[in-house]
Amino acid sequence: MNWREQVAEYEQAMVEDLKGLLAINSVRDDSLMSKETPVGPGPREALEYMYKLAERDGFKHVDVDHIAGRIEMGKGSELFGILCHVDVVPPGSGWDTDPFNPVETEDKIIARGTLDDKGPTIAAYYAVKILEDMNVDFKQRIHLIVGTDEESGWMCTDRYFQTEEMPNLGIAPDADFPLIHGEKGLTTFDIIQNSSKEDVTAPEVELKALNAGERYNMVPDFAEAKLAVREKMDFVLQSFDNYLHDHQLTGKATVVSGSLLLQIEGKSVHGMDPSIGVNAGMFLVNFLNTLSLDEKAKAFVALGDRYLFESHFGEKMNMAFEDAEMGRLTTNIGVISYTDIDGGHYGVNLRYPTGFDFTTEIAGFTDQIKEQGFDIVVNTHQEPHYVDKNDPFIGKLLTAYRNQTGDMTEPYTIGGGTYARNLEKGVAFGAMFKDSVDLMHQKNEYMTKKQLFDATAIYLEAIHAVCVED
């Protein structure tokens, strides 16, 4: 069967349906949240749009509290899931065209959501529709599950799977080809200073405030500390200068009416691989630990220095762990803050491969730092998501991809999280190709028509292999 040829006669209809979906501004709107529009009117309108396509094409659909829903296709006892979403991130500024008035050129479609995830949603929808039009003999039911809150809190899938059937197998066309079959466990936690010991000594330097970073999943690229220096100002200034020089860092010291402001610049990268960034905050902590600080501040920076500084793989917390397939555990210190009144906290983003027992390890670490006047609060914890790449299901998806593209790239695992982790046995499967320009969440987002049609052919062949062939 020439699957790409099967797609050819649907090309114009696909482009029209996609443009209709793109024309809906489906950014979550917290100011218009209601029972009728759980994440705002735009996302709901986009969901209803998908239902209208289903009605037009003769498929049943089921709505779940207006926040998610499904289009039902195929037949059989086993259930195959395709998990998509029709909400988009805000367009931001700098677009050359109206982000919600799709522009079609000879080879591409430009609008917010073309790649993430409206284009792939339409591609997957058409793949199943084409099979239905071919009157193939399905061996599995198919649910095309449509969420409306992927970009924010995943309220859609949380709600959906509270009551609806979990597919036996599934794909999320919301990332990259060839296929992502494993995602690390994702945690964020705070190491909080709880001692409020009164200082009895007269410190040379008092730390008034320290700040770096705003997000757990980014390496802070800027850090600032405010100090009251009682003695040896020249020594502190000279030490800071030497420190910057020794560590090849950029920074600045400013004396403002008796207090000293220290600033360090770093390099921000995503928190899934902090070792390639420069954590401005932790360097500042490391420097501050060389000064004769007041006791509370000393305890704070000493703890950071001992367990967190330049320790991107959990080594200093004694949590280093590695899995042959999923790689190393990583630790990013994304948020650092301290005030002389409240004490300080470190906000950590720890990502771990399968086989690591986070709950036990974090409890052990908590015991260890309790004696030093610190506690840990775990904010978020998602278990690792993993599907064996030797599973026959993966083989079928991969074969379809390879047949259509000739590219033999192996499936891989990542440190981030994709929508696929909502499925018990699901993988991220497209629709970005190796040579696609990744404009997800960026201005002038576009999808080439070739990418849209090629992805459809891959989904067509893959769904045929999984749901129609024995």
The least CB distance from residue 175 to Zn ion, in Å, is 8
C-alpha torsion angle, residues 344, 345, 346, 349 (rounded to 10): -170
Binders of Zn ion among residues 174 to 193 (CB under 5 A) are 174
* CB 120, CB 430: distance < 8 Å: yes
> Could you tell me the CA-to-CA distances from 379 to 281, 350, 387 in Å, in that order?
21, 11, 26
Q: Are strands 108-110 and 446-448 parallel, antiparallel or unpaired?
A: antiparallel
* CB 400, CB 465: distance < 8 Å: yes
| Side-chain-facing half-sphere of 245: CA atoms under 13 Å | 6
Exposed e or buried b for every residue in 300-315, given b needs 16+ CB within 10 A?
A: bbebbbebbbebbbbe
For residue 23, with 0-12 CB atoms within 10 Å meaning exposed, 13-18 middle and 19 or more buried, which class applies? middle
The least CB distance from residue 421 to Zn ion, in Å, is 12
Binders of Zn ion among residues 63 to 82 (CB under 5 A) are none
Q: Are strands 185-193 and 426-428 parallel, antiparallel or unpaired?
A: unpaired
Considering the complex, state which of residue 355 and residue 416 has its C-beta at the smaller distance from Zn ion: 416
The least CB distance from residue 37 to Zn ion, in Å, is 20
Q: CB within 8 A of 21, min separation 6: which ones?
A: 46, 49, 50, 86, 113, 118, 121, 122
150 is catalytic: yes
Considering the complex, state which of residue 87 and residue 454 has its C-beta at the smaller distance from Zn ion: 87
Considering the complex, state which of residue 181 and residue 396 has its C-beta at the smaller distance from Zn ion: 181
Considering the complex, state which of residue 20 and residue 416 has its C-beta at the smaller distance from Zn ion: 416
Q: Which of these is catalytic: 150, 183, 221, 361?
A: 150
The least CB distance from residue 85 to Zn ion, in Å, is 6
Element counts in the chain: helices (H) and strands (E): 11, 24
CA angle (175, 178, 180) in 5-degree steps: 55
Considering the complex, state which of residue 88 and residue 131 has its C-beta at the smaller distance from Zn ion: 88
Q: Which of these is catalytic: 17, 87, 117, 151?
A: 87
Considering the complex, state which of residue 116 and residue 294 has its C-beta at the smaller distance from Zn ion: 116
The least CB distance from residue 116 to Zn ion, in Å, is 4
> 172 pairs with which residues across the strands?
428
* CB 427, CB 420: distance < 8 Å: yes
Residue 454 binding Zn ion, by CB under 5 A: no
Under rule CB under 5 A, how many of the chain's residues touch Zn ion?
3
Measured in degrees and rounded to the nearest 5, phi and psi for residue 111 equal 180, 160
The least CB distance from residue 127 to Zn ion, in Å, is 18
The least CB distance from residue 117 to Zn ion, in Å, is 4
Considering the complex, state which of residue 117 and residue 221 has its C-beta at the smaller distance from Zn ion: 117
What is the C-alpha radius of gyration for the chain, rounded to an integer number of angstroms? 26
Q: CB within 8 A of 428, min separation 6: which ones?
A: 171, 172, 173, 174, 175, 176, 179, 180, 418, 419, 420
Q: Segment contacting Zn ion (CB under 5 A): 166-174, 223-231, 289-297, 445-453? A: 166-174
- How large is the angle between the packed helices 449-467 and 119-133, nearest 10 degrees? 50
The least CB distance from residue 146 to Zn ion, in Å, is 12
DSSP state of 352: E
87 is catalytic: yes
Considering the complex, state which of residue 157 and residue 211 has its C-beta at the smaller distance from Zn ion: 157
Considering the complex, state which of residue 356 and residue 446 has its C-beta at the smaller distance from Zn ion: 446
Assign residue 283 a region (left: φ > 0; alpha: ψ between -120 and 50; beta: otherwise). Answer: alpha
CA dist., res. 328 & res. 384, Å (int): 13
The least CB distance from residue 113 to Zn ion, in Å, is 9
Q: What are 338's two structure tokens?
A: 């301290």
Q: CB within 8 A of 134, min separation 6: which ones?
A: 6
Q: In the stretch 85-124, what mask flags binding to Zn ion with x, by CB under 5 A? A: -------------------------------xx-------
* CB 73, CB 132: distance < 8 Å: yes
Residue numbers at the binding site for Zn ion (CB under 5 A): 116-117, 174
Active site residues: 87, 150
